[in-house]
Structure 1
Amino acid sequence: MSRLTFIAILTICLSKWSYAQHRDSLIFGGQASVWINYNPDKKLSLHSGVRYIPQVNYAINNGNRKLDFELSLNLNAGAGIRPFDSIKGNADVKPYRAWMRYSGKQFDLRLGLQKINFGSAQMLRPLMWFDQVDPRDPLQMTDGVWGLLGRYYFLNNANIWLWALYPSDKPKTWEFTRTHKNIPEAGGRIQIPAARGEVAFSYHWRVTDTRDNQLDLPQISKVHENRFGIDGKWDPGAGIWFEATHTSHNKSLNALTHQSMLTTGADYTFRIGNGLTMVVENIIAASGRKAFSYDRPLDFTGASLSYPLSIFCNISAIIYYDWKNGAAYNFLNYKRSIRAFDFFLMVYTNPETYLMPAQASENNYFAGKGIQIMMVYNH
């Protein structure tokens, strides 16, 4: 079944079932945002854009079982301007979410274009396998993946996930090559209680296609990739966690044949005023021809501070430091909520050569120094 065919079937189902009995629900909503960004380090120093995500949800309830649907679109347009000289614009329309789900008390099955994310880390995430959420992004935008996800929840708080994904036409987060177009991806995750916390093991398998890659890798049509992950989280007063992954290929991809990452982190809320929350994480990432035999690892530390000025106002800061290159990435955000509106004022100073691991924004607006103003309306 093609992606467009699935969306068409889902749309027909929503239309057909919108006249069902009162136990069912049909909800229309959406999010509209407009922003303007000034970055003197860029050729087109002034950028502005608008985005609208219309969303419809429909649910059929039958006792302890439920069948529900979600369909949403990502409609956006933007323009880059060099004042009094040049302008360049773009616009795009694409599906954002399009899934159907069948669920009960201890399980759910979800099919379609969906967001899949998991793991313990918050800022520097080795387990960011299927999403691209940047913690600095007020909208927390991320493209979804096409596939089937099943989850079962045990009574002792353990749970198991299994998934099968439609082959992606471009590399996902932490991937360097695309998936072979004729072979689906698959994997799973099991999470279990462990000493007043939890530990989880994750696995993902796919067949990659390195032909026409941009990294000067060997041109191979089928390379098997095995990705393993383990993470854990506890809260003995301060929250502490770790997250680690290892990826290996069955054929040589030069220095990218094997890849390993480890993040450790902690958070704590200090009793200062309304409560100052601090999060600190560190990631070490490296790759090489032989497993666990690496040179020149990447070493980043991230720190986040968040303070609520009132119920409606919040100020936060995120700082990343690249130990290898001696570079700092700084981000400050002020948020003000007025009813259904959220207003953001963001200031950033970052290196022009943007080397943040898997955190570049869609158009890399956070490279260099600048300011961004955003207004968001949720309905």
Structure 2
Amino acid sequence: MHRLALITILTVSLLKGAAAQHRDSLIFGGQASAWINFNPDQKLSLNSGVRYIPQLNYELSSGNRKFDVEFSLNLNANTGIRPFDSLTGNAAGKPYRAWLRYSGRQFEVRLGLQKINFGSAQMLRPLMWFDQVDPRDPLQLTDGVWGLLGRYYFLNNANIWLWVLYPSDKPKTWEFTGTNAKIPEAGGRLQLPVFSGEIGLSYHHRITDTRENPAGFRQVARMPENRFGIDGRWDAGAGLWFEATHTGLHDFGELTQQDLLTLGMDYTFGIGNGLNIIAENLIAATGEKAFRYKNSLAFTGVTLSYPLSITGNISTIVYFDWENRNAYSFVNYKKLVGAFQFYLMAYYNPETYLIPAQASENNYFAGKGIQIMMVYTH
């Protein structure tokens, strides 16, 4: 909570120094959702929950300069039931976003608990370094990271990012170890226009703490990790993109070298209201030496989306695990009614859930089942 207190103090200080003639606005909004999930493969087959994310935004502007603040909470409660046998429930709350930003015509600096994401891929994302967004999640929820992010935008549409992050004791997406609690993480990204698209170069450095890892791996308090990424996207009638990363650790067994590559494309066919198809293929491999792999996996993901009307849409996402010969399927019907969104989802997946970077402690999409969700935004 000391990080949240620092953000509050800085915000109050900046507001006190603002001149009276500056334009400002204060907006309160939020998102409420409720869901019920039936999955006979789960220990508790019937699960339900509610969530509310209240959000407060303040903006102060003068000419081309702007100072703004965002603060939101993630408040949720859920219960699990096995009819006539078991009942459990819990409730939790935590900050969801808590940042302040100072920006001008070609730059911005943002400090606090924030979402940082980039890259070209949409389903199977090697550059999902700091978020955990599941493309099947209607709410697109993800925890943020505490840090300082600066971005500068050049007039030719190129831009550069620099960040410093508060170390996290828990592994983030694609990470196998936590970070040393005494040493901040840091990195950057450069995006450049290339022909009809763009290409991005990313880098991130941290000092890992491997002492919580299973036996068989080197366990030390400080092990450097360097992560490199490159991605590009172009419009050639169809959208084409690639995304690749290389992660290097020092003497960490079969995880010393980690490589990921995704190739993807999308196209909208002129069928009815327009059928959009997205396809991606991910290859991941690890080994003790670069390009000499001992473990590998390959996943293909396909998304089809069709608008039934202005307020209705149906979509499906299918993943295929080539190593284990398993398919993951998901269908979603979405209906808008004013400020309400209604979702009817069905899924048929293996009980052992192996989609890269999407497995979680409480994964209701493992196995087969249906889920109904209602979302209200104000």
Q: Does 1:188 align with 2:192?
A: no
Alignment of 1:74-89 (within 5 A): 74-89=74-89
The residue that corresponds to 1:288 in the other structure is: 287
Alignment of 1:125-204 (within 5 A): 125-204=125-204
Rounded Cα–Cα distance in structure 2 between residues aligned with 1:293 and 1:90: 46
Alignment of 1:64-103 (within 5 A): 64-103=64-103
Q: Note closer, same or farther for the CA distance 1:153–1:22 as it changes in structure 2 (3 Å cut).
A: closer
- Aligned partners of 2:229 and 2:244 also within 8 Å: yes
- What does the per-residue CA deviation read over 1:83-131, in whole Å, with 9 as the maximum and x for residues that have no partner? 1111111111100000000001111000000000000000000000000
Q: Out of 7-16 and 341-350, give the one that drifted further.
A: 7-16
- What does the per-residue CA deviation read over 1:288-338, in whole Å, with 9 as the maximum and x for residues that have no partner? 111111034110000000000000000000000000000000000000000
Rounded Cα–Cα distance in structure 2 between residues aligned with 1:201 and 1:311: 38
Rounded Cα–Cα distance in structure 1 between residues aligned with 2:14 and 2:329: 44
The residue that corresponds to 1:253 in the other structure is: 252
Q: Which amino acid aligns with 2:265?
A: A
Rounded Cα–Cα distance in structure 2 between residues aligned with 1:295 and 1:281: 23
- How far did 1:75 drift? 0.3
The residue that corresponds to 2:273 in the other structure is: 274
- Aligned partners of 2:7 and 2:100 also within 8 Å: no
- Aligned partners of 2:4 and 2:98 also within 8 Å: no
Q: Note closer, same or farther for the CA distance 1:162–1:238 as it changes in structure 2 (3 Å cut).
A: same
Rounded Cα–Cα distance in structure 2 between residues aligned with 1:40 and 1:210: 37
- Aligned partners of 2:11 and 2:100 also within 8 Å: no
Residue aligned with 1:148, SS? strand
The residue that corresponds to 1:29 in the other structure is: 29
- Aligned partners of 1:18 and 1:26 also within 8 Å: no
Rounded Cα–Cα distance in structure 2 between residues aligned with 1:14 and 1:278: 47
Q: Which amino acid aligns with 2:366?
A: A
Rounded Cα–Cα distance in structure 1 between residues aligned with 2:183 and 2:350: 39
Q: Note closer, same or farther for the CA distance 1:371–1:303 as it changes in structure 2 (3 Å cut).
A: same
Q: Does 1:313 align with 2:312?
A: yes
- Structure 2 residue ranges without an equivalent (≥5): none
**Same amino acid, percent of matched pairs:** 71
- Aligned partners of 1:10 and 1:98 also within 8 Å: no
Q: Note closer, same or farther for the CA distance 1:271–1:13 as it changes in structure 2 (3 Å cut).
A: farther
- What does the per-residue CA deviation read over 1:258-300, in whole Å, with 9 as the maximum and x for residues that have no partner? 1000000000000000000000000000111111110341100
Q: Does 1:208 align with 2:213?
A: no
- How far did 1:215 drift? 6.4
- Aligned partners of 1:344 and 1:375 also within 8 Å: yes
Aligned residue pairs total 378
- Aligned partners of 1:248 and 1:259 also within 8 Å: yes
Residue aligned with 1:3, SS? helix
Coordinate RMSD, CA, aligned: 1.8
- What does the per-residue CA deviation read over 1:170-204, in whole Å, with 9 as the maximum and x for residues that have no partner? 10000000000000000000011112111110000
Q: Note closer, same or farther for the CA distance 1:215–1:201 as it changes in structure 2 (3 Å cut).
A: farther
Rounded Cα–Cα distance in structure 1 between residues aligned with 2:163 and 2:15: 28
- Aligned partners of 2:22 and 2:62 also within 8 Å: no
Rounded Cα–Cα distance in structure 2 between residues aligned with 1:312 and 1:10: 42
Q: Which amino acid aligns with 1:62?
A: S
- Aligned partners of 1:189 and 1:201 also within 8 Å: yes
Q: Does 1:353 align with 2:339?
A: no
Rounded Cα–Cα distance in structure 2 between residues aligned with 1:11 and 1:23: 16
- How far did 1:360 drift? 2.3
Q: Note closer, same or farther for the CA distance 1:327–1:359 as it changes in structure 2 (3 Å cut).
A: same
Q: Note closer, same or farther for the CA distance 1:306–1:10 as it changes in structure 2 (3 Å cut).
A: farther
Q: Note closer, same or farther for the CA distance 1:50–1:10 as it changes in structure 2 (3 Å cut).
A: farther
- Aligned partners of 1:108 and 1:150 also within 8 Å: yes
Q: Which amino acid aligns with 1:228?
A: F
